[in-house]
């Protein structure tokens, strides 16, 4: 059985949990408390030398770190990943956009606010993250104004990756209501078969 090393409040981990649920793939959930340094132990660094969750452990004991690499691994050959070459490139385009322009701003702002890490010295950087996060939401709004989903008018891992931290953007101080096309897309993602919320899986 697959094993997911994950922190319950992580949107990056949630991407994997949502894809696993929608692909109906059973897995064992191993909680790693990043607030207690559990992703930096020697044991964990053997799974991911970059010291970050989520990490997917395959049946043969090999490890796949990086949430969006996990999404690609799980989705290959399924309804969640297009087979057309250009559509695949578009899915990857949005996955890289998510990790470069979206997550470092929206997810980090949320993490700092929720877990008490917004120290005074971080205030200038927090202000920059607000601006950059809103810019990312603006790019999404423009794209979604004329589209149902991010790529090929079908739900894919591009939607899962961007849903993960967008739908909790308010927890990072982002006013989502300024982005009506994004809000309508969030509703469409939530209505997909097999959708699960960002919560620790019930064991």
Chain positions contacting a second copy, by CB under 8 A: 49-50, 58, 62, 64-70, 72-73, 76, 85-86, 88-90, 92-93, 95-97, 99-101, 103-104, 121, 124-125, 139, 142-143
Q: Would you say 46 or 191 has its CB closer to a second copy?
A: 46
Name the minimum Å distance from CB 181 to a second copy.
13
Structure tokens at 172: 């990072």
Name the minimum Å distance from CB 122 to a second copy.
10
Residues 4, 27 contacting (CB under 8 angstroms) = yes
What single string gives the DSSP state of each residue in 125-172? HHHHHHHHHHHHHHHHHHHHTT-SSSBTTB--HHHHHHHHHHTTGGGG
Q: Would you say 58 or 199 has its CB closer to a second copy?
A: 58
Name the minimum Å distance from CB 64 to a second copy.
5
Q: Would you say 61 or 116 has its CB closer to a second copy?
A: 61
Q: Would you say 100 or 195 has its CB closer to a second copy?
A: 100
Name the minimum Å distance from CB 193 to a second copy.
25
Name the minimum Å distance from CB 203 to a second copy.
26
SS3 (DSSP) at 80: coil
Structure tokens at 42: 């020697």
Pairing type for strands 55-57 and 63-65 reads: antiparallel
Q: Would you say 37 or 49 has its CB closer to a second copy?
A: 49
Structure tokens at 84: 């057309």
The torsion angles phi and psi of 19, rounded to 5 degrees, stand at -65, -45
Q: Look at the alpha carbons of 74, 96, 161, 56 in this order and tell me if their dihedral is positive or negative.
A: positive
Name the minimum Å distance from CB 30 to a second copy.
19
Q: Would you say 138 or 195 has its CB closer to a second copy?
A: 138
Nearest-angstrom CA–CA distance, 107 and 168? 9
């Amino acid at each position: 059985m697959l094993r997911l090393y994950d922190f319950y409040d992580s949107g990056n981990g949630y991407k994997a949990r949502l894809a696993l649920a929608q692909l109906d793939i059973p897995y064992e959930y191993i909680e790693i408390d990043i607030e207690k340094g559990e992703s930096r132990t020697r044991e964990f660094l053997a799974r991911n030398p970059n010291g970050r969750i989520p990490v997917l452990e395959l049946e043969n004991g090999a490890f796949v770190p990086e949430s969006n690499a996990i999404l690609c691994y799980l989705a290959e050959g399924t309804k969640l990943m297009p087979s057309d070459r250009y559509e695949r490139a578009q899915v990857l385009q949005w996955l890289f956009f998510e990790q470069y322009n979206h997550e470092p701003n929206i997810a980090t702002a949320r993490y700092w606010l929720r877990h008490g890490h917004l120290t005074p010295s971080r205030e200038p950087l927090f202000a920059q993250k607000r601006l950059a996060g809103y810019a990312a939401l603006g790019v999404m709004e423009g794209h979604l104004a004329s589209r149902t989903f991010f790529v090929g008018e079908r739900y894919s891992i591009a939607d899962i990756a961007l849903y993960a931290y967008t739908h909790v953007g308010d927890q990072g101080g982002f006013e989502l209501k300024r982005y009506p096309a994004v809000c309508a897309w969030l509703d469409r993602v939530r209505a997909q078969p097999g959708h699960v919320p960002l919560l620790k899986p019930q064991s």
